[in-house]
């Protein structure tokens, strides 16, 4: 959570604490009744599809063993004779 988001949330909580008790109860009831933040199965599946679509699309400018695997494998198999 970013610093600005955290500050905004803290301000909202401070404002909620200053509400009269009956308004606090109404706010709590409204927030508990709001199910829009709870992901549905379809939303979960769509999120997973988007996540899987990105798999393998990352790039690093670092050379590692996986990019030079033939070199390493040839060396490994050559010494096993």
pLDDT single digits (tens) 15-69: 999 999 999 999 989 888 877 766 788 888 888 898 888 887 776 676 666 777 7
**In this predicted structure, what is the pLDDT of residue 37?**
67
16: three-class secondary structure by DSSP: helix
**In this predicted structure, what is the pLDDT of residue 20?**
92
16 neighbors 24 (Cβ within 8 angstroms): yes
Tell me the torsion sign for CA atoms 52, 57, 58, 64: positive
């Amino acid at each position: 959570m970013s610093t600005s988001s955290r500050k905004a949330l803290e301000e909202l909580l401070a404002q909620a604490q200053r509400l009269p008790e009956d308004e606090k109860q109404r706010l709590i009831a409204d927030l508990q009744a709001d199910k829009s933040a709870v992901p549905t199965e379809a939303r979960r599946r769509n999120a997973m599809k988007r996540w899987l679509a990105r798999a393998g699309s990352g790039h690093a400018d670092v050379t590692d063993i996986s990019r030079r695997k033939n070199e390493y494998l040839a060396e490994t198999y050559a010494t096993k004779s």
